[in-house]
Structure 1
Amino acid sequence: MSDMERLGTIHGVGLGPGAPDLLSVRADRLVRGARHIAFFRKKGRPGQARRIAAGMLRADAVEIAMEYPVTTEIPVSDPRYNAMLSSFYTECTERLMVAAGSGEDVVVLCEGDPFFYGSFMHLHSRLSGRVPVSVVPGITGMAGAWNATSLPICWGDDVLTVVMATLPEEDLVRHIRQTDALVVMKIGRNLPKLRRAIRAAGREEQAWLVEHAAMPEQRATRLVDAQTVTPYFSILLIHGQGRRP
């Protein structure tokens, strides 16, 4: 038996946008069966992924909480940001390697889909080739958001663009003008800038703001009517209006 065969598999498991009943059958089976459960969270918080999985874990589950050293305290443009996160992901990788070294599988709980702007991607690139790694897809938060509006996001030949509200304002304006359908993530404190960009692109009347998609607190509001925004769980949408029969 090779060294790799003696190790447990590390599974990045997509939990979907927030509702526990939106997990895939495979994700549900892995979460309920694993003895080692890892998840990301901000210090002092339970963590959204852990909240989704509440009530699903084995009684003897060993929980591995991976607490971010920084989230919004310093700007992403600060060199310290990447340095701190790089060290953090390296440390998390080693912790997961130790757990997999026992020969048992480890499940890493991931909000949405693990390969769509998720923290697990940074672990995957460090774990690959060192330990068996598996990824279970999940419903993305943006899919939960456009379903919350009860409107299709794309028709016919519509082009969908996904951008981060952290981009410079002029870049946001350009992307908003050029696309048919739009998803904007990572809004938070960038909402005033995003509002200006949407207005400059002439698409304010088409924009929707969805907060807590697929969660009990879900709220979908036209941007022109929205007064506040949830710092993290919020997505802005512009629906495509393309070709249809």
Structure 2
Amino acid sequence: MNGHLYILGMGPGDPELVTRKSERILRQTVVYAYFAKKGEVGHARKIADDMLSSQHQELRFEYPITTEIPHQSNEYKEALALFYDQSAKIIEQHLQDGQDVALLCEGDPLLYGSAMYILERLQPNYLTHIVPGITAMSGCWSAAQLPIVKYEQTLTVLPATLPLEELVTKLRLCNAAVIMKIGRNLSKVKQALQSAGLLDKAIYIERGTQTEEKMVPLTQFKDSKAPYFSLILIAGL
């Protein structure tokens, strides 16, 4: 009998924000997997540190280095598709051996989570279970004590990788917004917010809910780029 795949939302960073269900399943599942950048521990793996024992078997999937490839290019998409194919195949081998596998994902697995690409590849042939997690955005607006939307206001979630003109257009139409995937797009995001008349409302949060948390008005953040685990909040008026 094939094993089951459990995709566990591990929350934004504070281990105490991991749900009891995700922790229980992780402790009971021998094989666990996670994604990480080269030379780094992996955020979801770091969150889970105190929940693991010597009895666990680790599957580490290290992202290919693609910083020199434009993210909109076919080459970038093909490199990641191959990476997810290979990762899914390794997990599949364990499932075929009758072993359950817990795939860890920071935040919520289905909100910009790499785990969704494994789900697409394995869901047709294996039993899969998804445990939701607290999102980075909700962790950050709670840390900031920032009411994000009220009454009939709408919330827009934007990736900073969008072209400048598209960012400006969408920002002008929104009541409140969360901008994710900041990284090297920070200067472009600031320009878009300035054009949309929202720069003074923007709050920058880095590593929200973690011990290294940093939170400032975006106008006071002078760096030209931001780490991966950062986002910008614009609350509704």
Q: Fold conserved (TM > 0.5)?
A: yes
Aligned to 2:112: 117
Structure 2 residue runs of 5 or longer lacking an equivalent are: none
Structure 1 residue runs of 5 or longer lacking an equivalent are: 1-5
SS at match of 2:51: coil
Aligned to 2:227: 231
Q: 1:213 to 1:71 in 2, by over 3 A?
A: farther
Aligned to 1:78: 73
For structure 1, which segment, 46-55 or 73-82, has the greater mean C-alpha deviation from structure 2 after superposition? 73-82
Contact 1:39/1:49 (8 A) holds in 2:
yes
SS at match of 1:55: helix
Amino acid of the structure 2 residue aligned with 1:45? E
Question: Over residues 117-171 of structure 1, what are the superposed CA-to-partner deviations in whole Å (9 max), with x where a residue is unaligned?
Answer: 1001101011012111110000000111111211111101111000011100011
Q: Aligned to 2:26, which of 24, 31, 52?
A: 31
SS at match of 1:84: helix
Contact 1:159/1:180 (8 A) holds in 2:
yes
1:177 aligns with 2:172: yes
Q: Aligned to 1:190, which of 185, 188, 194?
A: 185
Aligned to 2:5: 10
SS at match of 1:76: coil
Residues in 2 aligned to 1:73 and 1:114: alpha-carbon distance in whole angstroms:
27
Q: Aligned to 1:205, which of 196, 200, 209?
A: 200
Residues in 2 aligned to 1:19 and 1:231: alpha-carbon distance in whole angstroms:
17
Contact 1:34/1:58 (8 A) holds in 2:
no
Residues in 1 aligned to 2:50 and 2:43: alpha-carbon distance in whole angstroms:
14
Aligned to 2:132: 137
Residues in 2 aligned to 1:58 and 1:37: alpha-carbon distance in whole angstroms:
11
Aligned to 1:47: 42
Cα RMSD, aligned residues only: 1.1
Aligned to 1:155: 150
SS at match of 1:170: helix
SS at match of 1:12: strand
Residues in 2 aligned to 1:152 and 1:71: alpha-carbon distance in whole angstroms:
37
Residues in 1 aligned to 2:213 and 2:67: alpha-carbon distance in whole angstroms:
23
Contact 1:15/1:112 (8 A) holds in 2:
yes
Query: How many residues align structurally?
Result: 236
SS at match of 1:138: coil
| 1:181 to partner: Cα distance | 0.4
TM-score, reference length from structure 2: 0.97
Aligned to 1:165: 160
Contact 2:206/2:227 (8 A) holds in 1:
no
SS at match of 1:18: coil
Residues in 2 aligned to 1:14 and 1:71: alpha-carbon distance in whole angstroms:
25
Amino acid of the structure 1 residue aligned with 2:36? R
Residues in 2 aligned to 1:237 and 1:45: alpha-carbon distance in whole angstroms:
27
Residues in 2 aligned to 1:72 and 1:148: alpha-carbon distance in whole angstroms:
31
| 1:100 to partner: Cα distance | 1.3
Residues in 2 aligned to 1:44 and 1:74: alpha-carbon distance in whole angstroms:
19
Question: Over residues 8-58 of structure 1, what are the superposed CA-to-partner deviations in whole Å (9 max), with x where a residue is unaligned?
Answer: 101110000001110111101011221101000112211111111112112
Residues in 1 aligned to 2:66 and 2:114: alpha-carbon distance in whole angstroms:
12
Amino acid of the structure 1 residue aligned with 2:78? A
Contact 2:31/2:57 (8 A) holds in 1:
yes
